[in-house]
Amino acid sequence: MEIADIFVLNKSDHQGADRLEQQLHAMLSLVMPRDGWRPAVVRTVATENKGIDALAEAIDRFRKNFEASGERQRKHVQHWKLRLIELLESRLLQRVLGGTAGEAKLAALAAEVAERKKDPFAAVNEILAASGLRPDGGGSDA
């Protein structure tokens, strides 16, 4: 489970807020700080504008820590790495399947795999070979 960077206890004037805050602090005491940041717990009562300044300060402290640690840049690079992989997958699928004929071949192979007539790796190799790509991960044989 991912732990939040800041916990906001809104309506903290309600009964049980003290106990919830204690439980959160107890839980967070078991978590190692990440890049020097220990998640903050901020109490607010939004309808009365209470705790909003403390929340803004906690967000500012987190932002400064996030940038200083290099985590922001790492996450930005990771985001774009995943996005590039998605784009590459999409383009490769378009290239390998090549329209309705490729989609029909994919459906036929999927049926064979589902019926255990062919293993999934052999099916993928067949698709790659039909598109002119070597199943061993190399480039085109041409």
Check if the beta carbon of residue 58 is closer than 8 Å to that of residue 66. Answer: no
Smallest Cα–Cα separation from 126: which of 114, 116, 112, 115? Answer: 112
Check: CB of residue 43 under 8 Å from CB of residue 21.
Answer: yes
Q: How confident is the model at residue 109 (pLDDT cuts 50, 70, 90)?
A: very high
Residue 135 is predicted with a pLDDT of 74
pLDDT score for 43: 97
pLDDT tens digits for range 12-46: 999 999 999 999 999 999 988 888 889 999 999 99
Mean pLDDT of 80-97: 92
Decide if pLDDT at 127 tops 60: yes
The DSSP letter of residue 131 is T
Residue written as token pair 């004037």: 13
State residue 10's pLDDT score: 96
pLDDT of residue 17: 95
Q: Above 90 in pLDDT, residue 1?
A: no
Give the type of residue at 105.
K
Residue type, 114: A
Quote the pLDDT of residue 140. Answer: 56
Position 132 pLDDT exceeds 60 = yes
Site of tokens 């061993």: 136
DSSP helix/strand/coil, 94: helix
pLDDT of 138 higher than 80: no
Question: pTM, whole model, 2 decimals?
Answer: 0.56
In this prediction, residues 138-142 reach a mean pLDDT of 54
